[in-house]
């Protein structure tokens, strides 16, 4: 009787270790090279500082206070149909927060800078039009809105086509997460 229990426990342990090895293998491959990891950590600090800028916090608060965000009724499919120079697009670049983000994006270590409200809607953007208006289902937003910073793997950015690591940090107001600041750290 004890032999049967030992065999079943041993088989379970072996199966568990095998499963952990299979699941952990892709995670190990997805780790960033040391120089890129250091660069992401550097920009995590910068983005956190930028996310605390009073202009950024004010813009996120104002967007959250409006029913439906700054552009009520906007969906990702409607956004996709807009021309880059449409006033509905450029308003996110010409606002006070948009101008600040455009100025901050002059840092050559990043290739975009977007401010999102608590629902994932666009609040402000640097000089380029984001491909997606609402990112509420994207991992960077999901983690960022929970108060954690998030970073992905090295790959071409869908908006800029510049190879880098997409990342986001929470925007806080009195310790409460009210949005995210999203960027892409350029890989060299």
Give pLDDT, residue 20. Answer: 30
Q: 97 and 49, same structural domain?
A: yes
Q: 85 and 9, same structural domain?
A: no
Q: 174 and 100, same structural domain?
A: yes
- State the DSSP H helix or E strand holding residue 179, giving kind and residue range, or none if neither: strand 176-186
Say if CB 93 and CB 85 are below 8 A apart.
Answer: no
Q: 123 and 48, same structural domain?
A: yes
Q: 120 and 95, same structural domain?
A: yes
128 token code pair: 């380029």
Q: 155 and 76, same structural domain?
A: yes
Q: 143 and 66, same structural domain?
A: yes
pLDDT at 54 over 70: yes
pLDDT at 137 over 90: yes
Give pLDDT, residue 30. Answer: 53
Structural domain boundaries enclosing 164: 33-186
Give pLDDT, residue 87. Answer: 95
CA distance to 3, 51, 86, 87, per residue, from 92 (Å): 69, 16, 11, 9
Q: In this structure, is the dihedral angle defined by the CA atoms of residues 121, 127, 132 and 133, taken in order, positive or negative?
A: positive
| E strands present in 82-175 | 110-117, 122-125, 150-156, 163-173
Mean pLDDT, all residues of the chain: 82
Distance from C-alpha of 53 to C-alpha of 97, rounded to nearest angstrom? 10
Full-model pTM: 0.80
Q: What is the CA radius of gyration of the chain?
A: 21
pLDDT at 68 over 70: yes
Q: 66 and 154, same structural domain?
A: yes
Q: In this structure, is the dihedral angle defined by the CA atoms of residues 57, 69, 120 and 75, taken in order, positive or negative?
A: negative
Stretch 119-145: mean pLDDT = 90
Nearest to residue 145, comparing CAs of 64, 70, 68? 64
Q: 50 and 61, same structural domain?
A: yes
Distance from C-alpha of 164 to C-alpha of 183, rounded to nearest angstrom? 10
CATH number at residue 91: 3.30.450.20
Counting the structural domains of the chain, the total is: 2
Q: 105 and 59, same structural domain?
A: yes
Q: 143 and 107, same structural domain?
A: yes
Q: 89 and 129, same structural domain?
A: yes
């Amino acid at each position: 009787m004890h032999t049967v229990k030992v065999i079943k426990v041993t088989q379970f342990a072996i199966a568990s270790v095998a499963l952990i090895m299979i699941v952990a293998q892709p995670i190990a491959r997805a780790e960033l090279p040391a120089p890129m990891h250091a660069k992401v950590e550097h920009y995590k600090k910068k983005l956190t500082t930028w996310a605390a800028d009073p202009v950024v916090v004010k813009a996120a608060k104002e967007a959250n206070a409006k029913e439906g965000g700054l552009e009520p009724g906007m969906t990702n499919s409607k956004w996709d149909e807009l021309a880059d120079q449409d006033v509905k697009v450029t308003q996110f670049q010409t606002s006070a927060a948009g101008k600040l983000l455009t100025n901050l994006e002059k840092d050559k270590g990043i290739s975009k800078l977007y401010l999102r409200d608590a629902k994932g809607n666009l609040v402000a953007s640097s000089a380029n039009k984001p491909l997606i208006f609402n990112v509420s289902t994207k991992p960077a937003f999901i983690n960022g809105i929970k108060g954690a910073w998030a970073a992905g793997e090295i790959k071409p950015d869908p908006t800029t086509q510049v190879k880098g690591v997409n990342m986001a940090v929470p925007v806080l107001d009195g310790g409460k997460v009210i949005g995210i600041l999203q960027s892409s750290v350029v890989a060299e």
